[in-house]
Amino acid sequence: MGKKSKRGSGPRPGSNRAERIAERTARQAAAAAVPKRPFDGLAAECDLVAMRAFVASATARLALREEGPPEPELKSVVPDDDPGPSLQGKGVRNHVNVGTVLPGAVGAIVRDGKGAREGFAGLQIDPEPADIRAEFTAAVDWAAHATTDEAFPGGATDKTLDDLLDVGAALDITVHEDFSWWYAPGAKLDPAVQEMLSRAAETILPTTRLTPKSGVGAPWWVDAGDRAHLRWVRPEDEDQIMSALARLHAAGHLTLGEGSRFAGSFRTHGLLAPVFDLDIDKHADEWYDGLDQFDARLTEAIADTSELTAEQRRSRAGIRTRQVTLRI
């Protein structure tokens, strides 16, 4: 009688192989549990995705549910480096902002600000967190209550993003030409830091956040040198967007007007962003007519639930070949 085959009997309990399989299974389960859209449910989802994926230097004040310090009185439209007197009472949280990237690509910092401490929760962080939403939630919670001499430890919080933020609030984004916002107003920086900031600023491309009449999504214009681009992060379902783009392409309407060319699309954080190459000689504000016309046509095409025609299906196949996935 031949020996009994051990094939298919599986790893022995307690063996190294069994432990490795168990660890891999646990990692796969954890990855499946991470939300595909880390900022889903927030009115600012598209802008947060843009700021994490491709905007270089930008900030916005977050609307927290917990009452915070009063905003400093604006006495002049001219920027002022004087932090002024503290308006932050004992036990009152900090102002909290979201920022594209922080020094060292950390998750959060707290610095002195005008009238109160200012916390910043970063979006472009290193190393990449397994759960972006959980890490961002912890950063916002920490930035709201830490002092300037503390360092963000990472980790988790028992609060949810919905507990911390007004989920219906949009972002009033400030696009910066440098990274001086990392430091407190009026801070005296040594020459080495100033040189670092100067080099970092040289990497920033001129960028503008456009606002369509519909208010849908987050269209961002950037001057890339030889040409400009418009990347429009959209909140709708990817399949809806792809079919709508196919309808527009087949009808000859996949354009922002003269001087524009549909370059493709990319998906990131569960959202799709159509991309257009633009005439570099036209300023960002000159694209509003084409932007709003395309938006209206796209909205109409999204609402069309009829079957795609053969020509539209060919258009969709061609558009898919120009789609990439950004893994941030």
Domain membership of residue 213 (yes or no) is yes
Within a domain: 10: no
Is pLDDT of 147 > 90? yes
**In this structure, are 255 and 187 located in the same domain?**
no
Q: Which residue has the higher pLDDT, 116 or 217?
A: 217
Q: Give a yes or no: residue 273 inside a domain.
A: yes
Q: Count of alpha carbons within 13 Å of 71, Cβ hemisphere only?
A: 7
Per-residue model confidence (pLDDT) at position 74: 57
Does residue 25 sit within a domain?
Answer: no
Is residue 231 in a domain?
yes
Residue in the block written with tokens 């299906």: 313
The confidence score (pLDDT) of residue 31 equals: 46
Q: Examine the domain organization and report whether 104 and 225 are in the same domain.
A: no
Rounded to an integer, the average pLDDT of 112-140 is 94
What local confidence, expressed as pLDDT, does residue 75 receive?
55
The count of domains in the chain is 2
Please indicate, yes or no, whether residues 229 and 196 belong to a single structural domain of this protein. no
The range of the structural domain enclosing residue 90 comes to 45-71+82-201
> In this structure, are 177 and 213 located in the same domain?
no
Residue 309 covered by a domain: yes
Residue 36 falls within a domain, yes or no? no
Q: Give the whole-angstrom CA distance, residue 244 versus residue 58.
A: 31
Of 160, 175, 201, the domain-final residue: 201
Q: Which of 171, 201, 231 is the last residue of a domain?
A: 201
188 and 212 in a single domain? The answer is: no
Which tops the pLDDT comparison, 35 or 305? 305
CATH number, domain with residue 309: 3.30.1460
Q: Are 55 and 194 within one domain?
A: yes
Q: Residue 145's pLDDT is what? A: 96
Sorting pLDDT into bands at 50, 70 and 90, what band is 114?
confident
Residue ending a domain, among 147, 182, 201, is 201
Question: Does 66 share its domain with 145?
Answer: yes
Same domain, 197 and 58: yes
Q: Let me know whether 135 and 266 are in one domain.
A: no
Residues 165 and 98 in one domain: yes
pLDDT tens column, 11-51: 566 667 666 665 555 444 444 457 899 999 999 999 999 99
- Give the residue from 61, 105, 54 showing the smallest Cα distance to 275: 54
Judge whether 152 lies within some domain. yes
Share of the chain above pLDDT 70, in %: 84
In a shared domain, residues 189 and 55: yes
Say if residue 68's pLDDT is above 70: yes
pLDDT at site 231: 97
Per-chain mean pLDDT for the chain: 89
In whole angstroms, what is the distance from residue 16 CA to residue 29 CA? Answer: 20
144 and 258 in a common domain: no
